[in-house]
């Protein structure tokens, strides 16, 4: 199993628009072979001093059976269409691909 944390920064004021497009794509992703979990998350105010909050950051939490499943996901037709749909509102993306320690 691998765990993926994707950090997507969207333009100011575009979080809800991004989440609508993202959530519309979630059912197709969950149907993909090897997808165990796929969920968008947003920061909440916790009052914990070390927390860094960003209203324009969406963190996608993913679990896949293997790296090959993740690579197939990245080129799936619904993912290509989704990325095109949100291209004008996404400012940047970073990815962490992890394994349980």
**pLDDT tens-digit readout, 75-96:** 999 999 999 999 999 999 999 9
Closest among 67, 69, 85, 66 to 23, alpha carbons compared: 85
pTM above 0.85, yes or no: yes
pLDDT of residue 89: 97
* SS3 category, 75: coil
**pLDDT tens-digit readout, 23-73:** 999 999 999 999 999 999 999 999 999 998 999 999 999 999 999 999 999
pLDDT of residue 44: 93
CATH no., domain 2-98: 3.30.70.100
């Amino acid at each position: 199993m691998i765990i993926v944390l994707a950090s997507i920064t969207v333009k100011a004021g575009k979080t809800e628009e991004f989440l609508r497009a993202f959530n519309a794509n979630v059912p197709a992703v969950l149907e993909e072979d090897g997808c165990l979990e796929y969920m968008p998350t947003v920061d909440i105010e916790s009052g914990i001093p070390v927390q860094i909050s960003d209203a324009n950051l969406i963190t996608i939490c993913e679990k896949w059976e293997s790296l090959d499943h993740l690579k197939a996901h990245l080129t799936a037709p619904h993912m290509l269409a989704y990325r095109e749909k949100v291209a004008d509102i996404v400012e940047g993306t970073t990815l962490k691909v992890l394994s349980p320690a």
